[in-house]
Structure formats: structure tokens, C-alpha cells
């Protein structure tokens, strides 16, 4: 019985410490990945500004071939909304909207998830010319997690960063064909 009490008090103590740490830990996070693509900047931008093209290289859209997609507006322009609906919780239900565009340079989107969790985050892609036929693509995701889930930020950042990098590798392969 004594060992049981020690185990219970230890678990309660550990959970209490974790909840206290979460109360003071940041709820905001950002993940940034970069890749060099051997194509002119405008060629890269012309492909990435079309959100429907993400179905060719984004891991989350490749996970479920049954995903239903819909769109509102003119793809590649501010205000365009690309929506998806999947029964696979790794894909979920959500949409992204182009909120800012600087032609040939920068694309910003707001990402709104409905299921398996609700959130509103943002991401941007920035392009830099390295040479006439070499472009650096910088992708940043800005997110927020509520208390006490913010304790998971280091894990989420690691997993999401890997997925972002893998997406960029697939994008590079498509563009450099």
C-alpha cells in the first residue's frame, strides 16, 4: 500500500510540475525551413502561388487520396481559399487563404483547421534569388498552442519541421524535372 501511495503522489507531483511549467512556457511557436531550387525565382513563384499545386507535394494532402478539395476565388491571388476535407485525422478538415502576395517574392496564407482540432495559424513563403537559375525558398509556419498543450511545442516543431522539409524536397523534385 505504501508503494502505491508513493507512486500516486509522485504522479500528482510530476503532473503539477508540468502544469506549472506550461503556465509559464510560450504558447507561440514558429518553424522555418529553407531549400535551394535550381530554377529562376519567377518559375518557382508561379508554381507555389497556386495553392492547388500543394496537392502534388504536401505530405498532408498525399496521405489520403479520398480527400475532398474545394476552392473559392482565383488561385494565386489574395483572397483565394483552398479547402480540404478528409476522414484521416492527419489531414483533417480545414482551409487556407492567401492573405498577402508580393508578386515573385512573397506569399502569405492563413491556415484554419476545424478538425481534428481548431486553430488559426499563418505561414509564408519567401523567395530569394541566388543566381539567374537558383532560388532560395524560405518557408515559415507561425502557430499557437493553448495551455497546457503548449508543453508539446518542442515535439510538434520537430515533426512539423521534418514534414515541411520533406514537402520542400518534393517541390524541388517537381520543379527541377
| Domain extent listing, the chain | 27-176
The predicted-structure confidence for 55-78, as pLDDT tens digits, reads as follows 999 998 999 999 999 999 999 999
Fold of 27-176: Alpha-D-Glucose-1,6-Bisphosphate; Chain A, domain 4 (3.30.530)
| Alpha carbon distance 135, 45 (integer Å) | 10
What is the distance, to the nearest Å, from the Cα of residue 154 to the centroid of all Cα atoms in its chain? 14
pLDDT, the chain, mean = 92
The predicted-structure confidence for 10-24, as pLDDT tens digits, reads as follows 888 888 887 777 788
pLDDT at residue number 150: 79
Closest of 125, 49, 117, 43 to residue 82, by C-alpha:
49
The yes-or-no verdict on residue 101 having pLDDT over 90 is yes
What percentage of the chain reaches a pLDDT higher than 90? 71
CA 65, 67, 68, 69 dihedral sign is negative
What percentage of the chain reaches a pLDDT higher than 70? 100
User: Are the CB atoms for 107 and 48 separated by under 8 Å?
Assistant: yes
* Burial bucket for residue 25 (CB in 10 Å: 0-12, 13-18, 19+): middle
pTM for the full model? Answer: 0.86
| Alpha carbon distance 93, 116 (integer Å) | 7
Closest of 116, 54, 110, 128 to residue 85, by C-alpha:
116
What nine digits make up the cell of 145?
Answer: 498552442
The predicted-structure confidence for 127-146, as pLDDT tens digits, reads as follows 999 999 999 999 999 988 88
pLDDT at residue number 27: 84
* Burial bucket for residue 13 (CB in 10 Å: 0-12, 13-18, 19+): exposed
Amino acid at each position: 500500500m505504501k508503494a502505491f501511495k508513493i507512486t500516486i503522489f509522485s504522479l500528482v507531483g510530476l503532473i503539477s510540475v508540468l502544469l506549472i511549467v506550461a503556465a509559464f512556457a510560450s504558447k507561440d511557436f514558429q518553424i522555418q525551413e529553407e531549400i535551394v531550387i535550381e530554377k529562376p525565382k519567377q518559375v518557382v513563384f508561379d508554381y507555389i502561388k497556386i495553392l492547388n499545386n500543394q496537392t502534388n507535394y504536401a505530405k498532408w494532402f498525399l496521405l489520403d487520396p479520398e480527400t475532398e478539395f474545394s476552392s473559392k476565388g482565383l488561385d494565386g491571388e489574395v483572397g483565394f481559399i483552398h479547402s480540404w476535407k478528409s476522414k484521416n485525422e492527419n489531414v483533417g478538415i480545414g482551409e487556407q487563404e492567401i492573405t498577402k502576395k508580393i508578386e515573385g517574392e512573397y506569399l502569405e496564407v492563413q491556415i484554419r483547421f476545424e478538425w481534428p482540432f481548431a486553430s488559426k495559424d499563418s505561414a509564408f513563403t519567401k523567395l530569394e534569388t541566388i543566381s539567374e537559375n537558383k532560388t532560395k525558398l524560405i518557408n515559415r509556419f507561425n502557430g499557437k498552442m493553448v495551455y497546457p498543450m503548449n508543453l508539446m511545442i518542442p515535439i510538434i516543431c520537430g515533426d512539423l519541421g521534418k514534414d515541411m522539409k520533406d514537402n520542400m524536397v518534393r517541390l524541388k523534385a517537381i520543379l527541377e524535372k
